[in-house]
Amino acid sequence: MQKTLHIATFNIHKGLTHFNARFSLHQQRDVLRKLHADVVFLQEVQDAHTLRSERYKNWPSSGQAAFLADAIWPQFMYGKNSIYPAGHHGNALLSKFPIIKTFNQDISAHKSENRGMLHCVLEIPGWHEPLHAICVHLGLFAHWRHTQVSAIAHYIEQHVPKNEPLIIAGDFNDWNQRTGRTFAARLQVHEVFEHHAGKPARSFPSWLPVLRLDRIYTRGFNVQEVKVHSGAQFFQLSDHAILAATLTKKNDTLSR
């Protein structure tokens, strides 16, 4: 029976380092594999870009989501959010467990900025209920984020039963720490770093994190361990740090 989950969330910045200085997708994959995560939530996955695929000789022909998932996470899903002449990008979820249902929801609050929410329903060995894994990337402005958080909460209230385990993770761009209040009040979720340290993790910029932009919210779990993967070596990966957590499913939602 699978009771403990290792998860991670990472904004991969379209497979590029800070300021788009260097293509780093291969190094990103190496680091993600070393985390031994069961489920990985990814943002800014650029699954197609004609110009960059010509510029970078090691750009994956299969798309960034499939490339990152290769051989380690047999199940993955990509949710296209932003489409432009050269290609598109969005959120993705990598899973070691079967993905039995998916839904990609447009939560854009303004026509100038496309944002999405990727909902994947996972079948975990030994669990009576499925796991709902929701990967999000919110807007840059507070009033847009307020609209998006309300939309996410409404969607979850309508589509995720209260007795089924839930993880919401991603890049919330929430430097003023307001989204958690809405989620806590409406969804009864808890942010894992706030649970351990009193505040969400500093995750941006990756080499010396100052801003608390990324989050992992859970319902139906106990939090065993949390970790921010940041520092000098992450300057060579992305502008965001990787957040990771070890979760233990609460007994009242385990199969008997």
pLDDT in tens, 139-151: 999 999 999 999 9
Task: Give the percent of the chain with pLDDT over 70.
Answer: 98
Report pLDDT for 109: 86
State if pTM tops 0.85. yes
Going from N- to C-terminal start, the domains of the chain cover 4-253
Does the pLDDT at position 251 exceed 90?
no
Report pLDDT for 252: 55
Exposed e or buried b for every residue in 81-102, given b needs 16+ CB within 10 A?
bbeeeebbbbbbbbbbbebeee
Report pLDDT for 256: 35
Over 51-84, what HEC string results?
HHHHHCCCCCCCCHHHHHHCCCCCEEEEEEEEEE
Out of 3.40.50.720, 1.10.1660.10, 3.30.950.10, 3.60.10.10, the CATH code matching 4-253 is 3.60.10.10
∠ Cα 232 235 241 (to 5°): 95
Does the pLDDT at position 253 exceed 60?
no
Report pLDDT for 255: 44
Within the chain, residue ranges assigned H as helices are 25-35, 50-55, 64-69, 142-159, 179-187, 192-197
CA 136 – CA 150 distance, rounded (Å): 13
pLDDT tier at 181, thresholds 50, 70, 90: confident
CB 171 within 8 A of CB 11: yes
pLDDT in tens, 183-233: 989 999 999 999 988 999 999 999 999 999 999 999 999 999 999 999 888
| Region 84-94 average pLDDT | 96
User: Rounded to 10 degrees, what is the CA torsion of 148, 150, 154, 160?
Assistant: 70
